[in-house]
Amino acid sequence: MRIHISGVFVDDQASARTFYTETLGFQIKHDVPMGDDFWLTVVSPEDPEGTEFLLEPSGHPAVKPYRDALKADGIPQTQFAVDDVQAEYDRLVGLGVEFTMPPMEMGEQTMAVFDDTCGNLIMIIQGV
CB 88 within 8 A of CB 67: no
Torsions phi, psi for 25 (to 5 deg): 95, 10
Number of domains making up the chain: 1
CA distances from residue 58 to 12, 13, 31, 51, 126 in whole angstroms, order as listed: 8, 9, 17, 21, 29
pLDDT at 127: 77
At 95, the amino acid letter reads L
At 19, the amino acid letter reads F
pTM over 0.85? The answer is yes
pLDDT at 72: 95
The two beta strands, 109-115 and 121-126, are antiparallel
Find the distance separating the first CA and the last CA of the chain, reported in whole Å: 21
Q: What CATH number does the domain containing 15 carry?
A: 3.10.180.10
pLDDT at 94: 98
What is the b/e burial string over 20-38, where b = at least 16 CB atoms within 10 angstroms of the residue's CB?
Answer: beebbebeebeeeeeeeeb
The two beta strands, 121-126 and 37-43, are unpaired
pLDDT at 13: 98
For each successive 10 residues of the chain (128 residues), what is the average pLDDT? 96 97 98 96 96 97 96 96 97 98 95 97 92
The helix/strand/coil state of 77 is: coil
pLDDT at 53: 98
Q: Could you list the residue range(s) of the whole structural domain that residue 95 is in? A: 5-126
CB 125 within 8 A of CB 84: no
pLDDT at 32: 97
